[in-house]
Amino acid sequence: MFYYYWLMIPALLLSMWAQARVSGTFSKYSKIKSKNGYTGAMTAREILDENNLHDIDIIAAKGKLTDNYNPKKRVVNLSEPVHSSSSVAAIGVAAHETGHALQGRDGYGPLKVRSFLVPIANIGSMAGPYIVIFGLILSMDIFITHPRTPVSLDVG
């Protein structure tokens, strides 16, 4: 049980720290408007069109920081704060996600690996909290030690 905490607590803290940094940086640069007034969606469309990727759609997705590129559906999903905002943060996120579409066009190897692993990672992230709780329950002393005291068979 002790080792379980040694593994889980640092992983949880690192995850929370990373998420806080991403959210904080996005929030900071969301307050700075771009000089050209382009929204995230306009930026993404411009980059795609300049690279002859006219067949890739750009869709507004629900949530915050849920932006992604889906190579199977050939869709750039931009979260609501990115899709319609003209902030520097929105343009940066839109350009980043659109960059994945360019990687797909160019046959970038790590994107192929990522595309293969995403469904597996999604299962893990959905099941993760349940696995942690199940692990905690099964590691309780009541499940590890036998409730009866063993009988001694000394014959001597």
Q: What's the Cα-to-Cα distance from 51 to each of 54, 66, 69, 122, rounded to whole Å?
A: 8, 24, 16, 30
**Sequence-separated contacts (24+) of 146-154 with Cβ below 8 Å:** none
Active-site hit among 46, 50, 80, 97: 97
* Residue among 98, 84, 88, 93 nearest 39 (CA): 84
Of 87, 84, 88, residue with least CA distance to 61: 84
Would you call 97 a catalytic residue per the annotation? yes
Active site residues: 97
